[in-house]
């Protein structure tokens, strides 16, 4: 069960060496996205929110590489700032979702009995909602805005994770290494936190990485409808929504943010597939949503 013999850096090296070329490109793209997200305030050529009405709707040129939008804001700078928003929201949402899933699902599986029954009935109720409809409902309850998007998406997805964590915990609960920990005198909490949870991580990482693209699409979908990140913020969904009135006259405006979203989702999907093949080949068939 112990996979942590190799250090993370040697693991990454061997992952790289065994990866297909598509995985390598995806890895490079994902790293580039993360670097762009972190450095955007310094490397972006313009302030992403600086309005310049004298430079409206410019085509790509030497000064504005990707042109400007209807308020004269530099598209490239907005795309870069949008990377940070998208990745940041995804990172926070995923952490919240995983935490909820691990704590609630893990408790259900580990404690069992009536606790398990109650928790599973609650997840059942959440799973009767289509996820995007549930996210819309949560926005209706909480209002729009960045924080509320995170809460809405986390609350609409957590039940899936709780179910999966419970399943994994149930399958591991009666294995020898857990019995050994019990016999060695470890407390129930210690067995749960130190022995059971780490064993669920590799499957969870795979599932979470396969979900990144999905979450990105939901976040920008909400923003596109005007229910997510508020208007002046440079977010890809917001940019697409701004661009819609210019489909006939300035089609390039809607090309860039969509392309950025498409490429990012693709990079993370590829990475998720590669991680799954490496860490957990059994999941290949089961992950359908």
Partner 1 sequence: MASFILRRLLLLPLMLLAASALIFFMLRLGPSDPAMDYLRLSSVPPTPQALEHARIMLGLDKPLLVQYITWLKSALQLDFGVSYATQRPVLPDLLYYLPATLQLAGVALLLTLGISIPLGRWAARHQDEAPDQWVRLIAFIGVSMPNFWLGFLLVLLFSVHLGWLPPMGRGGWAHLVMPAVAIALMSLSINARLLRASMLEVKGQRHVTYARLRGLPERHVERSHVFRNALLPIITAVGMHIGELIGGTLIIESIFGWPGVGRFAVSAIFNRDYPVIQCFTLLMVTIFVVCNLIVDIIYAWADPRIRLSAEGAE
Number of residues that bind partner 1 (CB under 8 A): 47
- How far the first Cα of the chain sits from its last, in Å, is 28
- By CB under 8 A, tell whether 129 contacts partner 1: yes
> Which of the residues 262 through 281 are near partner 1 (CB under 8 A)?
262, 265-266, 269
One symbol per residue from 86 to 125: x for binding partner 1 (CB under 8 A), - otherwise; what is it? -----------------------------------x--xx
Q: Shortest distance, CB of residue 56 to partner 1, whole angstroms?
A: 21
- By CB under 8 A, tell whether 140 contacts partner 1: yes
Q: Which residue number, 92 or 252, has a Cβ lying nearer to partner 1?
A: 252
Give dist(CA 2, CA 5) in Å, integer.
7
- By CB under 8 A, tell whether 226 contacts partner 1: yes
- Residue 78: name the closest of 88, 68, 87 by CA: 68
Q: Which residue number, 130 or 198, has a Cβ lying nearer to partner 1?
A: 130
User: Which chain residues interact with partner 1 by CB under 8 A?
Assistant: 121, 124-126, 128-134, 136-144, 213, 217, 220-221, 224-227, 237, 240, 243-244, 247-248, 251, 254, 257-258, 261-262, 265-266, 269, 284-285, 288-289
């Amino acid at each position: 069960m112990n996979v942590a013999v190799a250090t993370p850096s040697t693991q990454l090296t061997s992952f790289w060496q065994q990866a297909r070329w598509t995985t390598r490109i995806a890895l490079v793209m994902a790293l580039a996205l993360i670097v762009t997200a972190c450095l955007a305030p310094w490397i972006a050529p313009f302030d992403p929110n600086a309005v310049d009405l004298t430079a409206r709707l410019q085509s790509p040129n030497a000064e504005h590489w990707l042109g400007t939008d209807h308020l004269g804001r530099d598209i490239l700078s907005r795309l870069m700032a949008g990377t940070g928003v998208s990745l940041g929201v995804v990172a926070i949402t995923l952490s919240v979702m995983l935490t909820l899933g691990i704590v609630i699902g893990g408790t259900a599986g580990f404690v069992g009995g009536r606790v398990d029954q109650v928790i599973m009935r609650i997840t059942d109720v959440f799973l009767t909602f289509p996820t995007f409809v549930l996210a819309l409902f949560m926005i209706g309850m909480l209002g729009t805005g960045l924080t509320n998007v995170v809460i809405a998406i986390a609350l609409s997805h957590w039940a899936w994770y709780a179910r999966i964590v419970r399943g994994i915990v149930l399958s591991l609960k009666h294995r020898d290494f857990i019995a050994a920990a019990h016999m060695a005198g470890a407390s129930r909490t210690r067995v749960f936190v130190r022995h059971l949870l780490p064993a669920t991580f590799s499957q969870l990482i795979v599932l979470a990485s396969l979900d990144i693209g999905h979450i990105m699409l939901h976040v920008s979908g909400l923003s596109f409808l005007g229910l997510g990140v508020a208007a002046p913020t440079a977010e890809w969904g917001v940019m697409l929504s701004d661009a819609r009135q210019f489909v006939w006259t300035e089609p390039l405006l809607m090309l860039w943010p969509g392309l950025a979203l498409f490429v990012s989702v693709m990079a993370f999907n590829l990475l998720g597939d590669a991680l799954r093949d490496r860490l957990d080949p059994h999941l290949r068939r089961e992950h359908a949503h």
